[in-house]
Amino acid sequence: MAASNLRFGAHATREVGQDFSNMISQLPAAERSGAKIGVFTDPNVAKLPVMEVVEESLVREGLNWVVWDKCAVEPTDKSWQAAIDFARSSNITHFLAVGGGSSMDTAKAANLFTNYPEADLYEFINAPIGRGRPIERKLSPLIAIPTTAGTGSETTGTAILDIPSKSFKTGIASRALKPTLGIVDLNNTATCPREVAIAAGLDVLFHSLESWTAVPFNERTPRPANPINRPAYQGSNPISDIFSKWALETTIKYLPRISKDAQGDTEARAQMLLAASTAGIGFGNAGVHIPHAFSYPISSLNKGRPKERQYHHPSYAPDVPLIPHGVAVSLTAPAVFNFTAPSSPQRHREAAAIFMGDRAGELARVRDEDLGRVLQEEIRRFLDILGVPRGLSEVGYKNEDIATLVEGCMPQRRVLDLAPILAKDDKAQEREQLTHIVEGSMSW
């Protein structure tokens, strides 16, 4: 298992031009003059101080660079394709992502498809929607500068997109997509609105808790002949556990402070930013499971609903229907951890203890068979502090949508394969289990 290269600290962004200069100076002389940096960001982030710092640094180094500032928030097949077309036609040789997961994931896709100029969008997307071809070429250098404390995409080999025409959100997963360098700079989250910071923080919370409770690496099937062939999402393991648990503790401690003071509480912002990268390393190696599997149809189906039933999250662009990824993940999480608790009572007990803090002593009286219910309550209590919608009904889902949500979840094998307890070999039983989880997630 490898962690990404990370540079951290306030002001770490200032040297990004020099990083590219260093990379370019290592090219054969003939290629150096052709080097061109493509900066990928979204229209919002493009106007923030971070982009000024980035541009200043690129100018200072006298580099050749262009900006693509049309990354869509929660990108789609269309927005990816536009970014890819831009990168291909601009002959980008070095990639820079500045933004949240949306911009970072778009830059990963642009990098991939520029290095596979003949491939269409579905070539690498996870089966069954895409053809899931493995990435064998070495991609171009990519530096990722996160501006949210959320996805950890600066550390992962994952890129997520929504395909609204198929009501299907999925992605591409390969170690080849990992950024060359992540620049984790506290100054860059100072402008995040409260709602964005909370949604991003919820993503960190469940990256941590899902990877910490994922099927252990040595029980995951199919088992490769040589451990070196384990997939990136290899199941929970002793090293990802260190990251995941640290990120879990840190998020539970600091996210409520973000909710009270999203921009001014520098210590809380610093800890959440580090937790985001740390959870990224944890889940990027161990994987996530059911809450993420459900988040994809939850987010995607919202866009296809009649206008009057579409959900819009506060502080996100009012003209775009959106259940932010972190919120979508949270909606089934309480029911999921009630369901998974019997798989590893000790881990679920430790998780409950972290949520309970000073009240953890009460756990001594809780029997293993009651742990799931207790953990479910603790997660709900935590989400309430943050003002998260209390169930799927609050983002517009009705009982008649349950089957559709389950059908949208079941093909998400890459993550579902890491879910404990789930009856993966018996589709009827798996469907029943997932249905039960959605039913328990409608409202609380």
Ligand X SMILES: NC(=O)c1ccc[n+]([C@@H]2O[C@H](COP(=O)([O-])OP(=O)(O)OC[C@H]3O[C@@H](n4cnc5c(N)ncnc54)[C@H](O)[C@@H]3O)[C@@H](O)[C@H]2O)c1
CA distances from 365 to 46, 121, 258, 374, 376 (A): 53, 54, 32, 11, 17
Stretch that binds a copy of itself, among 91-99, 110-118, 235-243, 379-387 (CB under 8 A): 235-243
106 binds, among ligand X, a copy of itself, Fe ion, none (CB under 5 to 8 A by kind): none
Structure tokens at 427: 């589709």
Closer of 7 and 373 to ligand X (Cβ): 7
Helix (H) or strand (E) holding 375: helix 371-386
Q: Which residue has the tokens 């990992």?
A: 178
Site string for a copy of itself, 195-234 (x = CB under 8 A): ----------------------xx------xxxx------
- Residues in the chain, total: 444
208 binds, among ligand X, a copy of itself, Fe ion, none (CB under 5 to 8 A by kind): none
Bridge pairing between strands 181-184 and 142-146: parallel
Q: Are 236 and 361 in contact (CB under 8 A)?
A: no
Q: What does the binding site for ligand X look like in residue numbers (CB under 6 A)?
A: 42, 44-45, 48, 73-74, 99-103, 105, 147-148, 150-153, 156, 158-160, 188-189, 191-192, 196, 199-200, 203, 316, 325-326
**What is the Cα–Cα distance from 205 to 202, expressed in whole angstroms?**
5
C-alpha count within 13 angstroms, C-beta hemisphere, residue 309 = 12
β-bridge mates for residue 6, sequence order? 182
314 binds, among Fe ion, ligand X, a copy of itself, none (CB under 5 to 8 A by kind): none
DSSP codes of every residue in 321-342: -B--HHHHHHHHHHHHHHHHGG
Is 62 a binding residue for a copy of itself by CB under 8 A? The answer is: no
Residue from 341, 330, 443 nearest 383 by CA: 330
**What is the Cα–Cα distance from 101 to 63, expressed in whole angstroms?**
25
**What is the Cα–Cα distance from 77 to 52, expressed in whole angstroms?**
29
Q: Are 108 and 142 in contact (CB under 8 A)?
A: yes
Total binding residues for a copy of itself by CB under 8 A?
Answer: 30
Is 139 a binding residue for a copy of itself by CB under 8 A? The answer is: no
Residue 56 CB, nearest approach to a copy of itself (Å): 15
3-class secondary-structure state, position 289: coil
- Region 149-188 residues binding a copy of itself, contact defined as CB under 8 A: 181
Is 203 a binding residue for Fe ion by CB under 5 A? The answer is: yes
Residue 6 CB, nearest approach to a copy of itself (Å): 6
Residue 330 CB, nearest approach to Fe ion (Å): 10
Site string for Fe ion, 153-192 (x = CB under 5 A): ----------------------------------------
140 binds, among Fe ion, a copy of itself, ligand X, none (CB under 5 to 8 A by kind): none
Q: Which residue has the tokens 């990928």?
A: 40
Q: Are 345 and 368 in contact (CB under 8 A)?
A: yes
22 binds, among Fe ion, a copy of itself, ligand X, none (CB under 5 to 8 A by kind): a copy of itself
Is 353 a binding residue for a copy of itself by CB under 8 A? The answer is: no
Residue 148 CB, nearest approach to a copy of itself (Å): 18
Residue 5 CB, nearest approach to a copy of itself (Å): 5
Q: Which residues bind a copy of itself (CB under 8 A)?
A: 1-9, 12, 15, 18-19, 22, 181, 217-218, 225-228, 237-239, 242-243, 246, 270, 274, 278
